[in-house]
Amino acid sequence: MWELNWPDEYFKVEDKESIFISQTFHSLLPNIIDVVNNFWTSLFTVLAIFIYRKMDRRLNIEIKIDNVIKNSNLGLSHELLQLIEEKSKDQNANEILVKAICIAENIERPAWFRKFEYFSSLIAKHGSYGIMQTQTDKPIDDKASINIAIEKYFKNTKYASKEEIEIAIRKYNNSDHYFRFIQEIITFILPQELHGYNYLRES
C-alpha cells in the first residue's frame, strides 16, 4: 500500500490549519434551525408587504376614486357603453348603477385578469366571467355578462329608491366595502343632488 512519508510536523501544522478553516467555514454557514427561522420570517415579511400593498390600494380607491377612474384604462369601449345604455333602456334598468358596477368590476378585475379567468375555465367551468363578473356555468364574453347582469340583477331599477338601489348592489356583492365603492362611483358620475331623480335627463 502506498504511504505518505512526510514529516509529522507538517501534518500537525496542516491539521491545525484545517481545523481553523473548518471552524471558520462552519461559523459562516447557518445551521438548519436558523435557515428555518429565517424562512418563516421572510415569508411573514412578504405576506405583510402584500397585505399592506393590497390595503393601500383599497385605501387609494376609497380616497382618490376620481384618479382611479380617470387613470384606469376602463376598457369600456363605445360598443360596450352603447350596449349598457340600450339594454338598460330595454330592461328599465338604472343605467348609472349598471355603469358604476361595470367600472368597479373592471377596476377590480381588469381585462388581463379576465383573460386569465377565461383560460382557467378549461379546468373548472363554473366561475365569474366577463366585464360584469357574472356567475355562470360556462365562460362568457363581456357583452354576454352585461346582458345577463342587467336581466338578473338590475331589471326595473330605473326609478328605484335609494334603499332599493342598495338592495340591488348588495344582491350583486354583499360587502360594505363594495357598497361604498359603488356609491362613490355613482357620485362620480352624477352629483349627489341628482341621485334617485330623473332630473336633467333627456326628456
Partner 1 sequence: MTQASYKYIGNVLDRNTRGWLPVVDEHSNKFYLPLLTKVEKLENANLFVMEGIHKGKTIAVDHKRIKPNIYSSYLFNSFTYAEGANLKLILKTSILQFPTQEEKVMCEGILPGVYKILLPDRPHEKKMQEDYYDESNSSGSRFCTTWFPIDTPQHNQYLHMGEYSTGCVTVLDNWQRIYLSLIHSRELESVIGTLTVVEE
**Which residues contribute to the site for partner 1 (CB under 8 A)?**
66, 69-70, 72, 74, 76, 78, 81-82, 85, 99, 187-194, 199-203
How far apart CA 189 and CA 196 sit, in angstroms, is 13
Whether the CB-CB separation of 74 and 103 falls below 8 Å is answered with yes
Which grid cell sits at 132? 360584469
Q: Which is nearer to partner 1, 102 or 149 (CB)?
A: 102
Cβ of residue 87: shortest distance to partner 1, in angstroms? 12
Give which of 106, 84, 102 is closest to 93, Cα–Cα. Answer: 84
Q: Which is nearer to partner 1, 168 or 185 (CB)?
A: 185
Q: Which is nearer to partner 1, 178 or 188 (CB)?
A: 188
The residue type found at 181 is F
Q: Which is nearer to partner 1, 107 or 149 (CB)?
A: 107
Cβ of residue 40: shortest distance to partner 1, in angstroms? 44
Cβ of residue 61: shortest distance to partner 1, in angstroms? 15
How far apart CA 67 and CA 72 sit, in angstroms, is 8
How far apart CA 192 and CA 124 sit, in angstroms, is 42
Q: Which is nearer to partner 1, 14 or 66 (CB)?
A: 66
Q: Which is nearer to partner 1, 103 or 140 (CB)?
A: 103
Cβ of residue 193: shortest distance to partner 1, in angstroms? 6
Cβ of residue 74: shortest distance to partner 1, in angstroms? 5
Cβ of residue 27: shortest distance to partner 1, in angstroms? 59
